Structure 1
Amino acid sequence: MRGALMRLRRVTGLPVAFGGLVEPDSGQMRISELTGTATTALSAITVSSGNGLGGKTVALARPCSVTDYSSSRQISHEYDAAVAAEGLRSVLAVPIVVRRRVRGVLYGALRTAQPLGDRTLTSAAEAARDVEQSLVVRDEAHGLLAAARGPEAASGAAWEQVREAHGAL
């Protein structure tokens, strides 16, 4: 995820990018990666589906953005203190979707209130696709390793799948 956030900042010129993955047990998204931030205010925030911009993105499974976070009527405001502490105004959030499930959110932000254009949103969506592909490969590798540990682990076909997955990584 860190690489995708760095690319997002480099390609778009956005000064701040951050994101996190949805925790399987709770269904909440935890912000775990920050780049370009001036404070730790956003670090480890847990975002519930439907709350704030990221929660709206999780609930709708589509990109969302606001031009002025603190005054937007399109989102709820549970995270205003952290967003204000970081000095963020215009914010976008893009879902990371794997097998039709939202697995995380990437954010990009400006410290000024100005519209985020289509090119910026497209670049954010491309960064999310990069993370999605990494998660697909990781999930596949975990599945193959679990299958290799199962009772049919002795079969040559199962080991061949593991070797192929390892080679692909």
Structure 2
Amino acid sequence: MAAQTGTESDARLIERAVADLARQSQFPLAFGGIEHDGAVEVTATVGTRTRNLHGLIVHADRGLGGRALVEKRPRLALDYRTSRNITHDYDRAVLGEGIVTLFAIPVIVTGTARGVLYCGTWAQVSVGDVIARPAFAVAGTLATELRIRDEVERRVSLAPAATGEPGLDAVAREELRESYAELRSIAAVVTDDDVRRRLEVLEQRRAALSNEGAGRPVDHGIALSPRETDVLARVALGSTNAEIASSLSLKEGTVKSYLQSAMSKLEASTRHAAVAKARRAGILP
């Protein structure tokens, strides 16, 4: 079967996760990959002594990682060579690396296994909760990144696109504003620099689309901070300070402070006036 490849961003995410796994766990080697079409291709390795594992394609239910993928739970082989609980389709690669103890952790996103991370050693070791916990944490972080990416792509696909026609109707404009606010909320927790830059471009396009449709001038002289814009985007949807705090994982007092700062910069006496001025300035859709 030909090697499967994910997107460039997938590759960066798995590389960072594997590097974190090697740094945070007590295992000397780590590797992993994202699931595509029922198989996981190992695209990132750290600490390996050979090239045997790089590019290895692990099919669902085959080997230790394939079992972890299908069962959606971690799988451990204390002595990989003699393990009777797995198929040995990948012995040439695994044993060729000299691995004795192998630990496979599936990356679960909203109930679906989206990849597998592996930790290994060249000597048999016991794997208790203290040793396994960092590996679970790294897999959880990767799952969060993938979930965010999925939501971004979903929102982008649903957001109204420029059609060349003058103006947006009220329904389309409201959907545009909701998508804009949600994109900003997602961007606030993204750690992947490439995804963050893509989100910023999308946010700017959404704001420009609304303003062009309304025939409004765009004033780039007003500079709100990212968090001030996040808060104002939620205010524009009618959210209370408490609701904004919950959606952005901030304290209510912090939300109030950001809002007051934004109002001051916009020279607005009320939150609604601030939203109106931000829209006229092209900051919000």
* Aligned match of 1:101: 112
The offset of 1:149, in angstroms, is: 5.3
The share of aligned pairs that are identical, in percent, is 30
Return the letter of the residue paired with 1:131.
L
Which residues of 2 match residues 31-110 of structure 1 at below 5 A?
31-110=42-121
The structure, 1 or 2, with the larger RCO (C-alpha pairs under 8 Å, 6+ apart) is: 1
* Aligned match of 1:132: 143
Distance 1:40 1:165 in 2: 42
Return the letter of the residue paired with 2:177.
E
**1:28 and 2:39 are equivalent in the alignment:** yes
The offset of 1:142, in angstroms, is: 0.5
Distance 2:50 2:176 in 1: 47
**1:14 and 2:14 are equivalent in the alignment:** no
8 A contact 2:160–2:176 mirrored in 1: no
TM-score between both structures, scaled by the size of structure 2: 0.55
Work out which of the two has the higher radius of gyration on C-alpha atoms and give 1 or 2: 2
Distance 1:126 1:146, change over 3 A: same
Higher strand fraction (1 or 2): 1
When structure 1 is superposed on structure 2, of 155-164 and 107-116 the one drifting more is 155-164
**1:159 and 2:170 are equivalent in the alignment:** no
TM-score between both structures, scaled by the size of structure 1: 0.90
Higher helix fraction (1 or 2): 2
Count, aligned residues: 166
The offset of 1:2, in angstroms, is: 2.2
* Aligned match of 2:279: none
Distance 1:107 1:47 in 2: 12
The offset of 1:150, in angstroms, is: 6.5
SS of equivalent to 1:3? helix
The offset of 1:159, in angstroms, is: 2.1
The offset of 1:36, in angstroms, is: 1.2
Distance 1:63 1:157 in 2: 44
Return the letter of the residue paired with 1:6.
A
The offset of 1:165, in angstroms, is: 3.9
The offset of 1:119, in angstroms, is: 1.5
Distance 1:33 1:161 in 2: 37
When structure 1 is superposed on structure 2, of 99-108 and 37-46 the one drifting more is 37-46
The offset of 1:144, in angstroms, is: 0.9
The runs of 5 or more residues in structure 1 that have no matched partner are none
SS of equivalent to 1:103? strand
Distance 1:46 1:143, change over 3 A: same
Distance 2:58 2:178 in 1: 37
The offset of 1:151, in angstroms, is: 9.7
The offset of 1:45, in angstroms, is: 1.3
Return the letter of the residue paired with 1:102.
A
The runs of 5 or more residues in structure 2 that have no matched partner are 1-13, 188-285
